Amino acid sequence: MPVTRTGSDGKSVTTLEPMKDGSDIQSMFFDMWRQDQPNVALQDVPGDFVTTSGSGLDPHITPANAMYQLDRVAAAWAKDTKRDPGAVRAEIGALLRDNAHAPFGGLAGDPFVNVLEVNLDLRRRYGPPA
C-alpha cells in the first residue's frame, strides 16, 4: 500500500508497504498509475479483457470481448489475405456470433466464444497468416 511520509528534507516521499493480495492491490496500483497519467483517455472495455489470463489455458472469452477485438483481428486477416476488410469483418463477426455458446447447452452461465476454435476456423478459411 502506498504510504506518504515527509522526508528529512521536508519533501513528501511515497513508499510501498506490503499488503494482502486481492483487489485492494489492483486498485492501489491503478490509482498510482492514474495519478501519474491523468491525461490518458480511458475507455470502457469488457471486464474479461483486463481480468482474464492471456496464457491461452482457457481459450474462452465473452462475446463482448470478441466483438471488442473484431476490428483489429479483421484488419489483420484482411491485410494478410489481401481481401476486402469489410467482407472479412462481416465473415468473422458472423463466425463469432455462430460460435457463442453458454455452458451446458445454454442452461447455465453466460455465453462464451472459444477463441482457439475460431482461430482454427479462420486458418482453414483463409490459410495461415503471412
Q: What's the rounded mean pLDDT across residues 101-125?
A: 89
Q: Which residue in the block uniquely carries the three cell numbers 482457439? A: 116
Q: First vs last Cα of the chain: how many Å apart?
A: 46
Kindly tell me if the per-residue pLDDT of 128 is higher than 90: no
Supply the pTM of this predicted model.
Answer: 0.66
Residue 71 to residue 79: CA distance in whole angstroms: 12
**For residue 103, pLDDT beyond 80:** yes
Q: Is residue 1 over pLDDT 60?
A: no
36-75: pLDDT as tens digits = 998 999 888 888 887 776 666 678 899 999 999 999 999 9
Mean pLDDT, residues 79-106: 92
- The CA dihedral of 38, 39, 40, 46, to the nearest 10 degrees, is 70
> pLDDT for 3-12, tens place per residue?
677 777 888 7
Assign 130 a pLDDT band (cuts: 50, 70, 90). Answer: confident
Matching residue, cell 463482448 = 64
Q: Is the pLDDT of residue 14 over 80?
A: no
- List b or e across 60-71, with b for residues whose CB sees 16 or more CB atoms inside 10 angstroms: bbbbbbbbbbee
Average pLDDT over the chain, rounded to an integer = 84
Which phi and psi (to 5°) does residue 79 adopt?
A: -65, -45
